[in-house]
Amino acid sequence: MDRSWISTKNPSDPEYQAGVREFIKFAVKNGGGRSELRCPCIMCHNFLHKRPGEILNHLSKWAFDKTYTCWIWHGECRDETTVGNSEVNVCEGHNTNEGDRLEEMLHQVEEAFHEDPFTFESLLNDSEKPLYEGCTNYTRLSAIMKLYNVKASQGLTDIDFNLILEVFKDMLPDDNVLPSRTYEAKKTLSLMGLPYEKIHACPNDCMLYRNQNESLESCSVCNASRYKKEEGRVPAKVLWYFPIIPRFKRPFSNVADAEKLTWHFDSREDDGLLKHPADSPQWRFIDGKFPEFAKEKRNLRLALSTDGFNPFGSLSSTYSTWPVILITYNLSPTLCMKIRYMMLSLLIYGPRQPGNDIDVYLAPLIDDFKMLWETGVGVFDAYRNEKFNLKAMLFCTIQDFPAYGNLSGYTVKGKAACPLCMEQFLGHWLNGSGKHVFDSHRVFLSCDHHYRYMKKAFNGKQEFGERPKIMSGVEVFEKIKDIQITFGKKHRNFLSKQGFKKCSKLWSLPYWRFLFVRHSLDVMHIEKNVCDSLIGTLLNIPGKTKDGPKFRADLETLGIRKELHVVDKESGRKYLPPAAYTLSRKEKIELCESLAGVKVPHGYSSNIRSLVNMETLKLVGLKSHDCHVLMQ
């Protein structure tokens, strides 16, 4: 194709106009079916994506970028075309996996660089620059990404990656542009990442140094220093916040992900079964209560999940770090729980867990959720090729029971440990076990359920009670809205040991009080606890078994299971009659040998054989997923 028209100074010249039309045809033909292409006018410089009609208008109004002679962004190979060629070699691999993904990623990050085009230009240059002279398979950016993916997938350290880069750089031709250090690779890739904030926090969890407190040198509550005393201006504690708004925008800039984010409206099968939160009464209630929010099917409904973990493994038994993860319920059940679609929003460093003071750290996240509910933010939808106002809401939280207490502000210990029944206590205290037991759970069954009339299988009584009245969110909020406390580990709040100990910051969300289910329990945690108790009881593991003299004494106090009551021998020893679950040593060996012989596909679970200790007849190191497999 003759390209002499590119140097024409007058955009209205007929030869220039004909050349522009030929370029548009070429770009559309080799654009991989995209609805938007890069605009090569002198105003856009291939930074911005436009529709073919808009590109035609731009090129007719302003001149074609004279430096853009090899149309690599429109389907042409770099090294086979020069100005004046009569034939154009279309790069066959332009729309295949690696190159296509790289261009798609650059398209996604493009919006973030509108105010800093020079940084984006540097990124583009790295995506175009061959790894070495004559290399057609890799550019500098694609090579770094490929190697860094290996680092991430194999869990390599920065030192390991340094060695790999040095070896590869030495093996490649001398003119290669591969970085030799991990720092250089990270610096290049960081341009494609999303922003994050490091917010200093009081070491006693009293406050964050943000907004009006940003310039303070010490905590306004406990006067603790902002910095470590012996290490200069190193902060005593840091909260990492990963702003959610740019992270909500990113999936909509990807055509495939933008389409998936409306699954709940476009593709969900309404068959009356509860398979996804979109099938729940709460989802439908939100649609009716907030029609403006429900009208836009792209508005996000998210779950918040958090729990503590020890990042140092066995090296430190006390350190506790708390990540806060967001899960997008707009996606289908097969996708919403995939790691790819989970979003890390907060990382709360230890060494102590935040506990009741977690509200202090949730503040920046809650502020963004308020803004996303009240005003929203403009987002470009790549699938529908339009801009819209995105809003988002927190649908519920997911956590284990102790974290339930931290997030809800309710005391989940003691006599009134149930956050739904509250003061309507449905149990009693067991002296032997030293615990409260809730044995009136049959009241939640229908009035004519046959379990209500069974005595021996339960607590020796028939159950005719009525289920307790569950307070609505509005009623709970009216009850706790005036609770005032001062956060921080050093400040003692003189509140009741039962019931609510704070008004959680989540109640500041305008819709929170109207939700039916605000907090959900993590089934995997509960399943692990049940599995540990079953294994501990079957194998009679000390400290984990739910059988023993104290437990049998409780049965005697309750007047049930008389065949299991402790028998006093003439010798003065106490005899525990065997129960149906009591295993002899031979049976325990058979059980452990059976588990040790289990073979499962790779990735299905841990190697069960390595968890079985045949000497002590115990199962050691069971993870939540291993317990799930055993329970199945």
303-356 confidence digits (pLDDT tens) = 999 998 888 766 556 788 999 999 999 999 999 999 889 999 999 988 889 999
| pLDDT tens digits along 544-560 | 899 888 998 899 888 88
Q: Which residue has the higher pLDDT, 604 or 521?
A: 521
409: left (phi over 0), alpha (psi -120 to 50) or beta: left
Give CA–CA dist 211/109, Å, rounded. 28
Does 151 lie in the same domain as 289?
no
Does 133 lie in the same domain as 254?
no
For residue 65, the enclosing domain spans 4-161
Q: Nearest to residue 93, comparing CAs of 140, 53, 131, 139?
A: 139
Residue 495 has a pLDDT of 60
CA distances from 477 to 287, 472, 481, 504 (A): 22, 9, 5, 10
Domain C-terminal end among 385, 406, 427: 406
Residue pair 120/110 in contact by the 8 Å Cβ criterion = yes
Residue 103 has a pLDDT of 61
Does 254 lie in the same domain as 150?
no
Does 386 lie in the same domain as 528?
no
Torsions phi, psi for 384 (to 5 deg): -95, -5
Q: Is residue 234 part of a domain?
A: no
Q: In the chain, pLDDT over 90 holds for what percent of residues?
A: 36
Does 274 lie in the same domain as 141?
no
Q: Nearest to residue 309, comparing CAs of 350, 280, 356?
A: 350
Whether the bond into 351 is cis, omega within 30 of 0: yes
pLDDT range class, residue 92, cuts 50, 70, 90: very low
Residue 368 has a pLDDT of 96
List beta partners, residue 121: none
Longest Cα–Cα distance of the chain, Å, equals 117
CA 290, 294, 295, 300: dihedral to nearest 10 degrees?
130
Does 271 lie in the same domain as 138?
no
Q: Is residue 201 part of a domain?
A: no
pLDDT range class, residue 110, cuts 50, 70, 90: low
- Which residue has tokens 């956050």? 419
Residue pair 91/103 in contact by the 8 Å Cβ criterion = no
Q: Nearest to residue 145, comparing CAs of 105, 195, 173, 91?
A: 105
Q: Which residue has the higher pLDDT, 570 or 199?
A: 199
User: Per-residue pLDDT for 79 more than 60?
Assistant: no
Q: Is residue 377 part of a domain?
A: yes
Residue pair 348/354 in contact by the 8 Å Cβ criterion = yes
Name the domain count of the chain: 3
Give CA–CA dist 323/328, Å, rounded. 16
User: Per-residue pLDDT for 296 more than 90?
Assistant: yes
Residue pair 175/184 in contact by the 8 Å Cβ criterion = no
Residue pair 205/360 in contact by the 8 Å Cβ criterion = yes
Residue 120 has a pLDDT of 65
User: Per-residue pLDDT for 145 more than 90?
Assistant: no
Domain C-terminal end among 161, 189, 224: 161
- Which residue has tokens 């809205």? 481
Most confident of the ranges 81-85, 113-117, 152-156: 152-156
Give CA–CA dist 252/381, Å, rounded. 5
What integer is the mean pLDDT of 401-408?
Answer: 92
Does 255 lie in the same domain as 144?
no
Residue 85 has a pLDDT of 43
Give CA–CA dist 106/438, Å, rounded. 57
Q: Nearest to residue 416, comparing CAs of 406, 427, 408?
A: 427
- Which residue has tokens 């939700």? 515
Cα dihedral 68, 73, 74, 75 sign: positive
Residue 233 has a pLDDT of 84
Q: What is the pTM of this model?
A: 0.76
Give CA–CA dist 347/352, Å, rounded. 13
DSSP of 223-247 = --BSB-TTSTT-BS-EEEE--HHHH
Q: Is residue 448 part of a domain?
A: no
Find the range with the poorest average confidence among 94-108, 145-159, 280-294, 362-376: 94-108
User: Per-residue pLDDT for 117 more than 70?
Assistant: no
Q: Is residue 196 part of a domain?
A: no
Residue 191 has a pLDDT of 74
Residue 115 has a pLDDT of 53
Give CA–CA dist 390/381, Å, rounded. 10
What is the chain's length? Answer: 632
Q: Nearest to residue 120, comparing CAs of 192, 178, 175, 51?
A: 192
Residue 86 has a pLDDT of 41
Q: Is residue 228 part of a domain?
A: no
What integer is the mean pLDDT of 104-133?
Answer: 69
Q: Is residue 220 part of a domain?
A: no
Classify burial at 138, counting beta carbons within 10 Å of its beta carbon; exposed 0-12, middle 13-18, buried 19 or more: buried
Q: Which residue has the higher pLDDT, 608 or 354?
A: 354
Does 256 lie in the same domain as 115?
no
Residue 109 has a pLDDT of 61
- Which residue has tokens 């002279």? 133
pLDDT range class, residue 451, cuts 50, 70, 90: very high
Most confident of the ranges 350-354, 505-509, 577-581: 505-509
Domain C-terminal end among 161, 186, 216: 161
Tokens representing residue 308 in the block: 């503590």
| pLDDT tens digits along 367-393 | 999 999 999 999 988 888 889 999 999
pLDDT range class, residue 96, cuts 50, 70, 90: very low
Find the range with the poorest average confidence among 123-132, 248-257, 437-446: 123-132
Q: Is residue 450 part of a domain?
A: no
pLDDT range class, residue 81, cuts 50, 70, 90: very low
Residue 48 has a pLDDT of 76
CA 610 to chain centroid, in Å, comes to 30
